[in-house]
Structures are given as C-alpha cells and as structure tokens.
Amino acid sequence: MGKDTLILLLLLACGLLCGSIIGEILEPWIPFLMKSKELRWSPSADLEILKYDLNFQVKLNLASVGGLALAFWIHRRMK
C-alpha cells in the first residue's frame, strides 16, 4: 500500500469517529442523525490444531456517513 492509500484510510477512520461524536452531541436536537445500521462479519474456523474466531462490526449512521464524505472531500482537496 502506498503512502496515499494509508493517508486516505487514516482520514476515513477519523471521519467516521468525528462524525459519530458530532452525531452523539447533536442527538438531542437532531435525533435522526443517530439512526444506525450495524454491519457485521464474523469469520471463524475450527481446525484440529488451530481455532480462530474474528468479529468485525461497523455501526453506520447518517452523521458518520457525513464524516466519511467530509474526510474523502478533504483527501481529494489535499492533492
């Protein structure tokens, strides 16, 4: 992965986090921002000598999607 890709992933993660925080702050006044959908992926395997179970979960709401869009816009402006 190149440096540009790592910067994009970092910006998108920050956008998700900041969007969720802003949504939590604004929830009393704008409640529809926090209506969310959870996306889950849980791969697992039980081999005789190795057993693993991974759980990935992303909780998306309108505020976090707005943060993602803003982060992507900032990344495009940085070029």
Rounded Cα distance between 38 and 55, Å, is 13
pLDDT confidence bin for 13, thresholds 50/70/90: very high
Rounded Cα distance between 54 and 66, Å, is 28
Q: What domain range is 46 assigned to?
A: 3-78
Q: Specify burial of residue 33 (Cβ count, 10 A radius: 0-12, 13-18, 19+).
A: buried
Whether 1 shows a pLDDT value over 80: the answer reads no
- Chain position carrying tokens 């956008």: 15
pLDDT in tens, 25-68: 988 999 888 888 898 999 999 888 989 899 988 888 899 999 99
**Which residues, at least 6 apart from 14, have a Cβ–Cβ distance to it below 8 Å?**
71
For the chain, the domain total comes to 1
